[in-house]
Amino acid sequence: MTVRIPPFAVVPGSQVHQVLTGQEERVIALIEEAYRVHGEGDTVNPPSYFLRFPDRPSARIIALPASIGGRSQVDGIKWISSFPENIDAGIPRASAVVVLNDQATGYPIACMESSVISAARTAASAALAADVLTKERGRPRRVGFFGTGFIARYLHTYLHAAGWSFDEVGVHDLDLAHADAFSSYLARSGATGRVTVHERAEDLIRSSDLVVFATVAGTPHVTDAGWFAHHPVVLHVSLRDLAPGIILESANIVDDIEHCLKADTSPHLAEQRTGNRDFIDGTLYDVLAGRVSPPAGRTVVFSPFGLGVLDLAVSKYVYDRVTADGTLQVVDGFFHETSRYGDGPARPHDAADGGPSGGGHA
């Protein structure tokens, strides 16, 4: 078998946006497929690594290495920063790239702008969870967005594309100007339902049957379990909003137990309090596979840590689409040392001669 060094390409955000716009239902299907592939064991998804800074305690950069089989068949890593102070400067909090690696050679095949990919996979994951977690109780008619930034906007877009409509849309943000701006976006987007800006978090939660947390909170700030007495479905996308007591009184679905119960997420804090994981009802894959049925008479909290395999699935879809339409921007000469002994240009080599064996996970 001969294996050649693949070309290396750069996929800018403009191309990513062009490919994904209008493809929300397709992306949701990709995310569901990736969850199933992960649940069936055809992935490698090691712990995320957090780079933190003593002089910038609110900032972090996270590395999410992963490998996914199924139809994607790609390795790679997402490198995503979160700098909350960017918001005060009027620019997005997060920025990201994904590097995809060829499974046959290990060579990187693309560096892709990934803030849009990350937002799309996060929104698609939450929209999928909202669908499967409400099948027994019926789709909620009242939604509340707690936090009104980039992720909230994408999540609303994905819910709308998946056929969701609401009689009432609640909005709450610590910064009233941000809440008003999100309300203006909803009006421009053609969102259905009456939009209400709630100054108090309690009012938003009590008036919503589907609650979306998309904040930058580093520690729990919602502590009163009584606010959830009407038993909503909660998309706990930002992971650190809910006090452990609320988690312990709810039915809890996560994307991956080992990943979610770390880094002082709300479920992790609940584990630290109790010394066990008995409060976790299962994973989203368990629900998809029919192993777990979310109860209708309890609050249901979905806490997705965010798996690198989801980013790879969406990234590979974008890469394949750009390649197929002939607009892949290859960087000629990116790999300089392409001969093992420096004696000429790159040549095909055989796995039996010490070259890569090809395929499989790293």
Q: What is the pLDDT of residues 215-231, one digit of tens each?
A: 989 899 999 999 999 99
**Mean pLDDT computed over every residue of the chain:** 92
Distance CA 159, CA 137 (A): 17
Q: Does the pLDDT of residue 2 top 90, yes or no? A: no
Single pTM value for the model: 0.90
| pLDDT score of 362 | 35
Mean pLDDT of 293-307: 95
Distance CA 222, CA 126 (A): 20
Is it true that 2-117+309-353 and 135-307 share their CATH fold?
no
Q: Measuring CA to CA, how many Å separate 303 from each of 10, 119, 131, 132, 198?
A: 32, 16, 15, 14, 24
Q: Does the pLDDT of residue 330 top 70, yes or no? A: yes
Mean pLDDT of 134-151: 94
Q: Does the pLDDT of residue 354 top 80, yes or no? A: no
More confident call, 216 vs 197: 197
Q: Does the pLDDT of residue 348 top 90, yes or no? A: no
* Domain spans, the chain: 2-117+309-353, 135-307
Q: Does the pLDDT of residue 326 top 90, yes or no? A: yes
| pLDDT score of 349 | 39
Mean pLDDT of 335-350: 66
Give the pLDDT band (50/70/90) at residue 192: confident
In the 8-state DSSP scheme, what is residue 47? P
Q: Does the pLDDT of residue 359 top 70, yes or no? A: no
Q: Does the pLDDT of residue 356 top 80, yes or no? A: no
Q: Does the pLDDT of residue 122 top 90, yes or no? A: yes
| pLDDT score of 350 | 39
In percent, the amount of the chain with pLDDT more than 90 equals 84
Mean pLDDT of 189-210: 94
Class of domain 135-307: alpha beta
Phi, psi of 188 (to 5 degrees): -70, -30
Q: In this structure, are strands 300-303 and 9-11 parallel, antiparallel, or unpaired?
A: unpaired
> Superfamily for 2-117+309-353?
ornithine cyclodeaminase, domain 1 (3.30.1780.10)
